[in-house]
Amino acid sequence: GFYPSFILPSPGEVWRRWQEFYQQRLFLHHFAATFFEAFGGFCVAAATALPLSYFLAGNPFLEKIFTPYIVGLQAVPILALAPLLVIWFGFGMTSKVLVAALAAFFPILTNGVVGFRGTDRRFREMMAIMGADRKTIFWQLEIPSALPVLFGGLRLGLTLSVIGAVVGEFAGAGRGLGYLVNSARGNFDTPLIFVALMGLAFLGIGFYLLLSGLEYLAVPWKRRQSR
């Protein structure tokens, strides 16, 4: 009650604004746009970063060649790249998916290299001596041993993909929670900004819980070790 609502709204004002926006069927419209942009970007990042991380983990020489370029690209702020992607690919979902993919790509790639490189060489040699082919070693040794580290990178990448989608919406969009923040800011509708921020927080928590559940099912030995 010490500040006007356009500076710091009360929880009651935020709740009432959310109800108004929800009843107009606009909140789910913007929430779904950011959801698909973030999740699509994460899928693109995972589909490219995981194979590349496995390739680089098995080829140290090539890793030394490509690492400076990867680090250089990572050093460029995603906020600076987003306007370019919007100019090149338009104001639709494609540019937002690409921005989200760039945000999620590097943590997935880094954790993938660390995870695949952490496979115990003695186990690999033992399986080879026992007659296991390359495919069997990959699926039964390298993937299971790397899964805990891979899931760490995937969780971080999925969370960052939400940030990437919002940055893309800031650069230019007609819908999404980031667009909602931009629009509400211009209208001094601070309660609506809090509504959008709560939606983003809920989206990030939901993504984190989703991957934590998948890790719980995919890495049962880690579950047993924590008991």
Whether the pTM exceeds 0.85: the reply is yes
Show Cβ contacts of residue 56 under 8 Å, excluding neighbours closer than 6 positions: 62, 63, 66, 109, 113
Mean local confidence (pLDDT), 192-202: 91
Say how many C-beta atoms besides its own lie within 10 A of residue 208's C-beta: 14
**Which helix or strand (DSSP H or E) is residue 110 part of?**
helix 93-117
- Phi (first) and psi of residue 178, to 5 degrees: -65, -40
Question: Which tens digit of pLDDT belongs to each residue from 161-182?
Answer: 999 999 998 888 788 888 889 8
The answer on pLDDT for 224 being more than 80 is no
The pLDDT of residue 69: 83
224 versus 214: which is more confidently predicted? 214
Mean pLDDT score of the chain: 86
Calculate what percentage of the chain has a pLDDT beyond 70.
97
Of the CA atoms within 13 Å of residue 224, those in its CB half-sphere come to: 4
pLDDT band at residue 101, thresholds of 50, 70 and 90?
very high
The answer on pLDDT for 227 being more than 60 is no
Mean local confidence (pLDDT), 113-128: 84
Mean local confidence (pLDDT), 79-103: 89
Mean local confidence (pLDDT), 195-221: 88
The pLDDT of residue 2: 75
Mean local confidence (pLDDT), 98-115: 91
DSSP classification of residue 8? S
Both ends of the chain: CA-CA distance in Å? 48
Question: Which tens digit of pLDDT belongs to each residue from 61-76?
Answer: 888 888 888 878 878 8
The pLDDT of residue 222: 66
Which whole-number Å values give the CA distances from 4 to 7, 14, 190, in the listed order? 6, 13, 10
pLDDT band at residue 128, thresholds of 50, 70 and 90?
confident
